[in-house]
């Protein structure tokens, strides 16, 4: 952030660094800046730097060590810690998924009930001025080029897949940032999706989890794992399985220290309902044990 003061036809930039400060004092000594204005300039410099640091702390609520821990946790949960599993197309799904968070990428002309996050991730990277693979940029649309799982599997050993695998491995940090970026705006989106009378309770529970030790890890991982819970297409027999449904299932914790444990209990209940409500053709009962272990591990996170 750069601040400037205007005095008649004179514009002076408020110093932002120590180098600027030394230069500023040289200007005062040379008489190019009047001393009565110097105190005001320095005051605004302090305000400027303080505001900049505050804004930076809001943009990055986690330390570098915590970000690294989160990245490893998601990589283990989603890919078993193996780079080759960052590219996958499960036999019971009609889409492939990519990266640290298994971001969905629908084939050409096809849509599904879940959010297609891989194209959003690519746009996120481009906004960061980060290059994406040339073959993806050359696609006529931002849709997956494989029409079915068979085409995808036969392409796994191709040069473009090797390029994609390398790209996903070296952008794990950006993928973690993207996952966190999604979570930043989730509370307003959830509140907008529910009746007004339910909003205070959901907001309270969300903030209780966010403020609990390792609570942000749980929120971020669960949203990446099962979504926000606000899409009507992500329902089975009228019940969702995303973060919103977990917060609705939660009992308001009596103590802050109990918040994460209650979140885990509610998440396991919601995931059990997800399996119970699934139609026969989408039976996911074999996955329930792994799902419960994943959320139970929120209580054991160590960085």
Same domain, 44 and 100: no
Q: Is the residue at 50 inside a domain?
A: yes
Query: Which alpha helices (DSSP H) does 185-242 contain, by range?
Result: 186-192, 199-211, 215-226
Encode pLDDT of 231-283 as tens digits. 888 888 889 999 999 999 999 877 777 899 999 999 999 999 999 998 888 88
Same domain, 193 and 259: yes
Same domain, 208 and 169: no
Same domain, 131 and 237: no
Beta strand 10-13 with 87-88 is: unpaired
In angstroms, the CA 200 to CA 66 distance is 29
What is the reported pLDDT for 202? 96
Same domain, 236 and 301: yes
Q: Which of 138, 157, 182 is the last residue of a domain?
A: 182
Same domain, 176 and 195: no
Same domain, 211 and 249: yes
Q: Is the residue at 69 inside a domain?
A: no
- Residue ranges making up the domain that contains 282: 185-303
Give the CA distances from residue 22 to residues 10, 14, 27, 28, 179, in Å, rounded to whole numbers and listed in that order: 20, 12, 9, 10, 41
Both structure tokens of 296: 């139970």
Q: Is the residue at 138 inside a domain?
A: yes
CA angle 234, 219, 53 (to 5 degrees): 130
**Domain total for the chain?**
3
Quote helix, strand, coil % in the chain, to nearest 5.
60, 5, 35
**pLDDT at 289 > cutoff 70:** yes
Q: What are the contacts of 16-21 at 24+ separation with CB within 8 A?
A: 16/45, 16/48, 16/49, 16/52, 21/45
Beta strand 97-98 with 87-88 is: antiparallel
Q: Is the residue at 67 inside a domain?
A: no
Q: Is the residue at 285 inside a domain?
A: yes
Q: Which of 156, 182, 208 is the last residue of a domain?
A: 182
Same domain, 133 and 23: no
In angstroms, the CA 82 to CA 86 distance is 7
Same domain, 152 and 191: no
Encode pLDDT of 6-63 as tens digits. 433 444 444 444 444 444 445 555 555 555 444 444 443 333 333 333 233 334 457 8
Q: What are the contacts of 294-300 at 24+ separation with CB within 8 A?
A: 294/77, 294/221, 294/225, 295/218, 295/222, 295/264, 295/267, 295/268, 295/271, 296/264, 296/268, 298/214, 298/217, 298/218, 298/221, 298/260, 298/263, 298/264, 299/260, 299/261, 299/264
Encode pLDDT of 105-163 as tens digits. 999 989 888 889 999 999 999 999 999 999 999 999 999 999 999 999 999 999 999 99
CA 163 to chain centre: 24
Q: Is the residue at 68 inside a domain?
A: no
**pLDDT at 1 > cutoff 60:** no
**pLDDT at 207 > cutoff 50:** yes
Same domain, 297 and 207: yes
Same domain, 177 and 200: no
Q: How many CB atoms lie within 10 A of CB 233?
A: 10
pLDDT (average), residues 162-170: 96
Same domain, 160 and 263: no
What is the reported pLDDT for 14? 41
pTM of this prediction exceeds 0.75: no
Q: Which of 154, 182, 210 is the last residue of a domain?
A: 182
Q: Is the residue at 64 inside a domain?
A: no
Q: Is the residue at 192 inside a domain?
A: yes
Decide: 65 and 72 in contact? Cβ < 8 Å: no
Res. 5 pLDDT band, cuts 50 70 90: very low
């Amino acid at each position: 952030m750069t601040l400037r003061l205007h005095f008649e036809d004179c514009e002076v930039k408020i110093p932002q660094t120590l180098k600027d400060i030394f230069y500023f004092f040289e200007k005062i000594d040379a008489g190019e800046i009047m001393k009565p204005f110097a105190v005001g300039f320095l005051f605004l410099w302090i305000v400027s730097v303080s505001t900049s640091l505050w804004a930076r702390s809001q943009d990055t609520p986690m330390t570098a060590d915590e970000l690294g821990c989160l990245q490893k946790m998601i990589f283990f949960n989603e890919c078993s810690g193996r780079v080759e599993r960052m590219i996958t197309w499960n036999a019971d799904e009609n889409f492939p998924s990519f990266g640290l968070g298994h971001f969905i990428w629908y084939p050409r002309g096809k849509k599904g009930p879940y959010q297609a996050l891989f194209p959003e991730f690519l746009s996120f990277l481009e906004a960061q001025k980060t290059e994406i693979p040339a073959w993806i940029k050359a696609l006529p649309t931002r849709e997956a080029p494989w029409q079915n799982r068979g085409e995808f599997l036969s392409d796994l050993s191709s040069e473009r897949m090797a390029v994609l695998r390398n790209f996903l491995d070296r952008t794990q940090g950006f993928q973690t940032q993207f996952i966190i970026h999604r979570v930043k705006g989730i509370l307003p989106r959830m509140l907008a999706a529910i009746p007004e009378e339910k909003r205070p309770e959901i907001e309270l529970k969300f903030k209780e989890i966010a403020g609990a030790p390792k609570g942000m890890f749980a929120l971020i991982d669960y949203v990446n794992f099962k979504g926000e819970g606000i899409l009507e297409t992500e329902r089975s027999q009228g019940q969702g399985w995303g973060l919103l449904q977990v917060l609705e299932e939660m009992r308001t914790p009596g103590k802050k220290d109990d918040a994460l444990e209650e979140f885990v209990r509610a998440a396991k209940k919601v995931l059990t309902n997800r399996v119970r409500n699934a139609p026969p053709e989408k039976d996911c009962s074999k996955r329930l044990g792994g799902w419960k272990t994943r959320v139970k591990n929120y209580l054991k996170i160590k960085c």
